[in-house]
Amino acid sequence: MPIAAVILVLLFLVQRFGTSRVGAAFGPIMLLWFVVIAVAGVPMIVKHPDVLQGLSPTWAILFVFAHPYITFVAIGAVVLVITGAEALYADMGHFGRIPIRRAWFFVVFPALVINYLGQAGLVLNQPSATKDPFFLLFPAQLQLPVVVLATAATVIASQAVISGAFSLTRQAVQLGLLPPLTIRQTSKNEGGQIYLPAVNLLLFIGVMAIMLAFRSSAALTTAYGVSVTGALVVDTLLLLLVARQLWHWQTWKLVLAAVVFGGLELTFLAGNLSKIIHGGWVPLLIALSVVTVMTTWRRGRQLVQEQRQELEGSLDDFIEQVNTTHVPRVQGVAIFPHPNKDHPARAPGERRAQSRDARPRDHRLRAHGERAPRAPLQGVHPRRPRLHRRRHRAHHREVRFLR
């Protein structure tokens, strides 16, 4: 517990500095980790080749029909072998579909299968190894180095989760689901390496609280199973929504995907619902809190925008009023930032009402954020701003800035 607390404190403290310097070592370390666990499983597979029968799904099907109740209870533990797969969807936004697919099918999946089969062979050869079959696969003199490597792999995996939380939060802010937050770029070359102080602090408090409350990884599995299976179900629902709205899948394809993927994932989720009273309520409470914040902010933002548009009126009507009403002109250029090009900003009207004058040229500025790690020396983006001319002397400009 104290060692884990120290590691967590250091992990969250270094987030502000980014991972650009040490990030290059993450890939080789994780590759070494999967190679090591795969090699560890080979000797026991060679010694007990019968464990290869476990690759056939027929054994699982026969077990389901022979022991339905035990199967339903065991599903809550069996699902833990695929924990982490749900994080692939979050990482896909960083790396794309092809790298994720190659990493899974050529590295992660084979290494995990070989290691699990090796653990099965170890248990057949030495039944007492059920207490810790993973580390007992290694000779005693190698167990300590493996613990160090496992710790490094865990820290890297945790870093991936934290980076994913930063990325998803930024996307939520851009979609209007969360209020504006401070976002800092931590790399000069990688646009995806960012740091959100508020999110980092909330994650640290939440992780430390959960660690102190559960006190062991065995107790944490009750909450983890509900979290993972719930995330898989939500991913499938989102997939079906995208397939219907954007890909225009036919109904039979949607039903087939819902039955195959959704049916399996709902079965896993149902098997974990019995753990809600034993800690599974924690991820549900966290998810409910996040959804409440998002929906509240989004609805409040919509109400403010509707009220603002009602007060501002139409931009064409505003320009027509300016051009048909005699307003004294003064020298200079006025720029009014505004998020909507179809409605006038309230500032020009209020300024005219107070000072009874107008600038020869009024420009309405609409800014678009763009993912880039740094700006050129001039401090502006190299793209030229797009100019949308309106009648007479009112202009609407759109520029892009770094975010």
Q: State yes or no: pLDDT of 135 exceeds 60.
A: yes
Report percent pLDDT > 90 for the chain.
34
Express each pLDDT in 359-385 by its tens digit. 445 555 666 666 666 655 554 444 444
Q: How far is CA 228 from the centre of its chain?
A: 13
Pinpoint the alpha helices (H) of 258-392.
263-272, 281-312, 315-324, 346-355
For residues 260 and 105, give the distance between their C-alpha atoms in angstroms, rounded to a whole number.
20
Give mean pLDDT, residues 263-280.
Answer: 86
Q: Which of 20-29, 235-244, 391-400 has the highest mean pLDDT?
A: 235-244
Q: In this structure, what are the phi and psi dihedrals at residue 373, rounded to the nearest 5 degrees?
A: -75, -30
For residues 259 and 268, give the distance between their C-alpha atoms in angstroms, rounded to a whole number.
14
For residues 32 and 145, give the distance between their C-alpha atoms in angstroms, rounded to a whole number.
12
Give mean pLDDT, residues 108-131.
Answer: 92
What the block records as the tokens of 401 is: 């800035």
For the chain, the farthest-separated pair of C-alpha atoms sits apart, in whole angstroms, at 96
For residues 50 and 61, give the distance between their C-alpha atoms in angstroms, rounded to a whole number.
18
Question: Of all helices (H) and strands (E), which one includes residue 146?
Answer: helix 140-174
What the block records as the tokens of 332 is: 């200079």
Q: In terms of C-beta density within 10 A (0-12 exposed, 13-18 middle, 19 or more buried), how is residue 249 classed?
A: middle
| pLDDT of amino acid 22 | 67
For residues 193 and 3, give the distance between their C-alpha atoms in angstroms, rounded to a whole number.
27
Mean pLDDT of the chain: 81
| pLDDT of amino acid 88 | 66
| pLDDT of amino acid 142 | 92
What the block records as the tokens of 301 is: 């933002």
| pLDDT of amino acid 119 | 95
How many other C-beta atoms lie within 10 A of the C-beta of residue 195? 20
Cβ pair 137, 59 in contact under 8 A: no
Range with lowest mean pLDDT among 168-172, 221-225, 284-288, 331-335: 331-335
Q: In this structure, what are the phi and psi dihedrals at residue 388, rounded to the nearest 5 degrees?
A: -110, 110
For residues 291 and 272, give the distance between their C-alpha atoms in angstroms, rounded to a whole number.
22
| pTM summary value | 0.76
Give mean pLDDT, residues 16-23.
Answer: 74
How many residues does the structure list for the chain? 403
Q: State yes or no: pLDDT of 164 exceeds 50.
A: yes
Q: In terms of C-beta density within 10 A (0-12 exposed, 13-18 middle, 19 or more buried), how is residue 19 classed?
A: buried
Query: Whose CA is closest to 111, among 139, 84, 143, 92?
Result: 84
| pLDDT of amino acid 115 | 94
pLDDT top residue among 124 and 328:
124
| pLDDT of amino acid 276 | 86
What the block records as the tokens of 53 is: 């029968």
Q: Which residues pair with 399 in a beta bridge?
A: 367
| pLDDT of amino acid 394 | 46
Where residue 396 falls (left for φ over 0; alpha for ψ -120 to 50; beta otherwise) is: beta
**Pairing state of beta strands 361-370 and 184-185?**
unpaired
| pLDDT of amino acid 95 | 67
Q: State yes or no: pLDDT of 145 exceeds 80.
A: yes
| pLDDT of amino acid 381 | 47
| pLDDT of amino acid 384 | 46
